[in-house]
Amino acid sequence: MGKALGVEAKSVPAPDEDAATISVMAARRALARSSIDPGEIGAIFVGSESHPYAVKPTATIVSAAIGATPVMTGADLEFACKAGTAGFQSCLGLVNSDDGQIPIRCALAIGADTSQGAPGNALEYSASAGGVAFIVGREDVIAEVGLTMSYTTDTPDFWRREGMKYPSHAERFTGVPAYFKHVEMGARQIMERMGTKASDYDYAVFHQPNGKFPLKISKSLGFNREQILAGLWTPRIGNTYSASMMMGLAGILDVARPGEKILAVSYGSGAGSDGFHLEVTDLISEYPRSKAPLVSEAAANGIEIDYATYSKFRKKLKMEGE
Amino acid sequence: MAVARHWRNQDQRYNLAGTRCKVCGGHFFPKTSMCPSCHRRSLGKLERFQFSGNGTISSFTIIHEGMPQYSSQVPYVIAYIDLEEGDHIIGQIVDSEPSEVEIGKKVEMVFRKLSEEGRSGTIQYGFKFRLTP
Ligand SMILES: [Zn+2]
């Protein structure tokens, strides 16, 4: 199954990790690379399908754990795998607004998940855990967002009802009418408005539910392998859901140089895509990447575990004495 | 009651916040209302101090039969850690096999789930440690 999905390994959360702990670690690493005071952060949005509480925002836990409280706002967002980029867009809106009306100059967008599929399901094979945090501001940016646009429809490709442990998906909708249509339209509308074509970009990154879909969509949009390799992480760590496209973008920013252009499109079932046109600034050459692990380092840092340990971790098998 | 207690200890648990004595410059964890060396002279001269979370293992023990909450984590390591800025702390070492843990190894703080009050209660988060890569 690994070969069919193009996934060689996936990350698994430890028993004491959840979307909140992963969000906090990602946020702390983002801050470690920045000179901003956590008190300057005016908003925190955490996008996830696996928030630990149904009611009690993960964003509040992150806020306290990085010292951003109390003059700030925060919210948890949900939109399948694109909740993190929905937060990214919200941050852009707040920081670019009139300071007299909304005095927020700096915000934090996080995508984090510890998702799981029912045992034996294809989702079980690729669903993994991970988180990414981006600091969004107006000054000293390493990448400028030139344009962001979304493409949204009501498509029942994947869902989970309240109280159910595992999600369901409609085979008929998962591929063409859902992922491919929304990512393609999302990418095309960005390029149309920017007046760009695939060859104008140094890098492209698309949501990665498995290793195959992003290869197929990038080919049909006219991107080659070199353009997408730096942002392709699902084959090595699995589908980190809300963090998936953001992880790819973080991987690209780990290697990007001044002046380079990036096209990034996330996808969330239900369904929609968020597209971003980004240009890397000169400041990236001074950006202290070494103050936190690169995506490649974080991915290589894992410990290999067997399925029994994995199941124990995920509480799927009834354990002795429990 | 427990919810309120956990909430009061939040800064300590989340951020490894302790106390700095402005008289002798000592750093203490957990927070204290009087410096153990300056005593009364430290009154009014104590401030919040956030430890970096970097430290060195000075001793440890391997737990094979933990509390029910930790059953999915056994065997796990509880270590006595000398913090870089002074004072010491007891914490769990995660993300490594117990056989990899040794006295003198460097550790860094991570943010993890400590406990939860059943399936419907609150979740307590806070510091644990892992070997510095
Ligand atoms: Zn003192």
Entry field: residues in chain B: 133
Q: pLDDT tens for residues A30-40?
A: 999 999 999 99
Partners of residue A147 on adjacent β-strands? A277
Which pLDDT does position A314 carry in this prediction?
A: 64
In this predicted structure, the answer to whether residue B114 has a pLDDT above a threshold of 90 is yes
Q: Which is it for strands A73-77 and A106-114: parallel, antiparallel or unpaired?
A: unpaired
Q: What is the DSSP string of B50-68?
A: E----EEEEEEEEESS--G
Q: Which domains does chain B have, with CATH numbers?
A: 52-131 (2.40.50)
Where residue A309 falls (left for φ over 0; alpha for ψ -120 to 50; beta otherwise) is: alpha
Q: Chain A interface, mutation test: which of B113, B117, B119, B130, most A Cβ atoms within 10 Å?
A: B113
**Beta pairing partners, B50:** B17
> Tell me, what's the ipTM?
0.92
Residue B1 confidence (pLDDT) above 70? no
C-alpha to C-alpha distances, B50 to A35, B16, B30, B115, nearest whole angstrom:
17, 6, 11, 23
Strand A261-268 relative to strand A203-206, pairing:
parallel
Inform me whether the C-beta atom of residue B90 falls under 8 Å from chain A C-beta atoms.
Answer: no
Contact of B123 with chain A, judged by CB distance below 8 Å, is answered with: yes
pLDDT computed for residue B4 by the predictor: 83
Buried b / exposed e across B81-97, counting CB within 10 Å, b at 16+? bbbebebebebbbbbee
pLDDT score recorded for residue A321? 32
Q: To the nearest whole angstrom, how far is the Cα of A24 from the nearest Cα of chain B?
A: 7
Q: How confident is the model at residue B45 (pLDDT cuts 50, 70, 90)?
A: very high
What contacts B48, CB < 8 A, 6 or more positions away? B11, B17, B18, B19, B20, B31
pLDDT in the model for residue B105: 98
Taking residues A144-158, report their average pLDDT: 93
Of all residues in chain A, the one with the smallest CA distance to B111 is A21
> How many alpha carbons fall within 13 Å on the CB side of residue A46?
32
Please check whether residue B8 touches A, CB under 8 A. no
For residue B91, how far is its CA from the centre of ligand 1 (angstroms)? Answer: 25
Closest partner CB to B73 (pick from A16, A18, A64): A16
- Ion ligand 1: residue ranges with CB closer than 5 A: B 21, 23-24, 26, 35, 37-38, 42
Region A175-199 average pLDDT: 95
Residues of A in contact with B72 (CB under 8 A): 15, 312-313, 315, 319
CATH 3.40.47.10 maps onto chain A at: 3-138, 143-286
Sign of the C-alpha dihedral computed for residues A310, A77, A292 and A142 taken in this order: positive
Average pLDDT estimate for A154-162: 82
Judged against a pLDDT cut of 70, whether residue A322 lies above it is answered with no
Does pLDDT of A303 surpass 90? Answer: no
Check whether A176 has a pLDDT greater than 50.
yes
Per-residue pLDDT at B67: 75
| Topology classification of domain A143-286 | Peroxisomal Thiolase; Chain A, domain 1 (3.40.47)
User: Which of the 8 DSSP states describes residue A178?
Assistant: I
CATH level 3 topology of A3-138: Peroxisomal Thiolase; Chain A, domain 1 (3.40.47)
* Model pTM above 0.80: yes
